[in-house]
């Protein structure tokens, strides 16, 4: 009773890890990756934001995953809560973006289009920000969005997540990174569209009313992922899970 064949210690391999290689998206086909951080008790926010959960390595990875992406998808709730700016070029990206635009554009998901179209996220974007909205979004807000962004409509009352991804792919954005938040991520998972989850596990216990990294109705069939790798930095774990089927 003192051993279990399937249980083993995760021994870190000595030496540095080539992160660009470890996190390289597949060479072909559409790929949707989410990058999220959570505390040990599952909290996806600290004082209403995600920033207080990570460490320097988490911020490094956040930037690297942007560098590897063709488009960065984010929910309007996160844009509003975190005062999201546009993606800015990072010197350390080096050759990561060879043959591609200097930065991946941001694609913001919204139903109400209750967004500040005069904010830097729209006015200072190196690559024009994209808005993903249902066709039934308020007409006046759609008009305002079109003045500042490329608007893609998919679905009627709510965004059709699959059609939105297909439209992004048709524009050449094959490697997609979703930075949440929890409502949008739940939508992608419910639609069966998530290929990979990069989860930073932060060594904090927070309790309170924070949501988990997915905030949506229960999934009739839980999505089961495979562990691709686990990295450690300080007391943080960087887990990469991929779709099994
Ligand atoms: N731990 C992490 O890694 C992490 C990552 C990101 C964010 N966060 C935190 O999570 C919180 C925000 O999360 P959230 O869940 O409230 O926001 P969210 O997922 O970023 O955005 C939710 C919004 O997206 C739009 N939306 C969602 N589903 C839609 C659909 N089917 N059709 C059309 N639009 C749709 C709606 O925008 P409209 O209301 O504009 O219609 C909705 O209010 C913040 O506290 C943020 O700091 C944590």
- Residue 136: count other Cβ atoms within 10 Å of its Cβ: 13
Token pair in block for residue 45: 């926010």
DSSP string, 181-213: -HHHHHHHHHTT---EEEEEEES----TT---S
Expressed in angstroms and rounded, the spacing between residue 76 Cα and the centre of ligand 1 is 5
Q: Which of 53, 152, 180, 238 to mutate to test the pocket of ligand 1 (most atoms within 8 A of CB)?
A: 180
Residue ID of nearest Cα to ligand 1 atom 16: 77
Q: Is 17 among the domain residues?
A: no
Q: Is 20 among the domain residues?
A: no
Q: Which residues surround ligand 1 with Cβ inside 6 Å? A: 36-38, 44-45, 48-50, 75-78, 81-82, 109-112, 114, 134, 158-159, 179-184, 187, 213, 215
| Cα angle for residues 182, 37, 75 (degrees, 5° grid) | 30
Q: Is 160 among the domain residues?
A: yes
Q: Per-residue confidence of the chain (245 residues) as pLDDT tens digits?
A: 788 888 887 766 777 889 999 999 999 999 999 999 999 999 999 999 998 999 999 999 999 999 999 999 999 999 999 999 999 999 989 899 999 999 999 999 999 999 999 999 999 999 999 999 999 999 999 999 999 999 999 999 999 999 999 999 999 999 999 999 999 999 999 999 999 999 999 999 999 999 999 999 999 999 999 999 999 999 999 999 999 76
Over the Cα atoms of the chain, what is R_g?
A: 18
Q: Tell me which residue of 57, 100, 107 sits closest to 232, measured CA to CA.
A: 57
Residue ID of nearest Cα to ligand 1 atom 12: 78
Q: Is 14 among the domain residues?
A: no
Q: Which atom of ligand 1 is nearest to the CA of 44?
A: 1
Q: Is 113 among the domain residues?
A: yes
155: containing domain = 28-93+101-236
Check residue 244 and give its pLDDT. Answer: 78
Check residue 14 and give its pLDDT. Answer: 72
Where helices occur in 96-198 by DSSP H, the ranges are 120-123, 139-148, 161-170, 182-190
Q: Which atom of ligand 1 is nearest to the CA of 186?
A: 19
Measured CA to CA, the distance from residue 120 to residue 117 in angstroms comes to 8
Expressed in angstroms and rounded, the spacing between residue 34 Cα and the centre of ligand 1 is 13
Expressed in angstroms and rounded, the spacing between residue 186 Cα and the centre of ligand 1 is 9
Q: Which atom of ligand 1 is nearest to the CA of 158?
A: 32
Q: Return the CATH number at 224.
A: 3.40.430.10
**Structural domain count, the chain:** 1
Q: Is 155 among the domain residues?
A: yes
Check residue 245 and give its pLDDT. Answer: 60
Q: Which atom of ligand 1 is nearest to the CA of 200?
A: 3
Q: Is 11 among the domain residues?
A: no
Q: Is 242 among the domain residues?
A: no
């Amino acid at each position: 009773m003192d051993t279990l064949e399937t249980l083993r210690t995760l021994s870190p391999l000595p030496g540095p890890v080539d992160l660009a290689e470890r996190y390289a998206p597949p060479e072909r086909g559409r790929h949707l990756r989410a990058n999220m951080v959570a505390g040990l008790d599952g909290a996806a926010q600290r004082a209403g934001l995600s920033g207080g959960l990570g460490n320097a390595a988490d911020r490094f990875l956040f930037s690297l995953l942007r560098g590897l992406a063709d488009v960065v998808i984010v929910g309007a709730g996160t844009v509003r809560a975190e005062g999201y700016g546009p993606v800015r070029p990072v010197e350390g990206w080096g050759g990561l973006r060879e043959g591609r635009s200097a930065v991946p554009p941001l694609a913001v998901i919204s139903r109400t289009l209750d967004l500040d179209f005069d904010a830097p996220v729209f006015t200072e974007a190196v690559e024009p920000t994209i808005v993903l909205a249902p066709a039934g979004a308020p007409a006046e807000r759609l008009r305002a969005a079109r003045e500042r962004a490329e608007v893609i409509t998919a679905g009627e009352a709510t965004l059709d997540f699959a059609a939105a991804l297909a439209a992004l792919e048709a524009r050449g954005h094959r490697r997609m990174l979703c930075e949440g938040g929890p409502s949008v991520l739940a939508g992608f998972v419910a639609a069966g569209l998530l290929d990979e989850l990069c989860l930073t596990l932060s060594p904090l216990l927070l309790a309170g009313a924070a949501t988990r990294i997915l905030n949506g109705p229960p999934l009739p069939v839980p999505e089961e992922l495979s562990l691709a790798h686990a990295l450690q930095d300080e007391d943080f774990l960087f887990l990469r899970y991929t779709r099994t089927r």
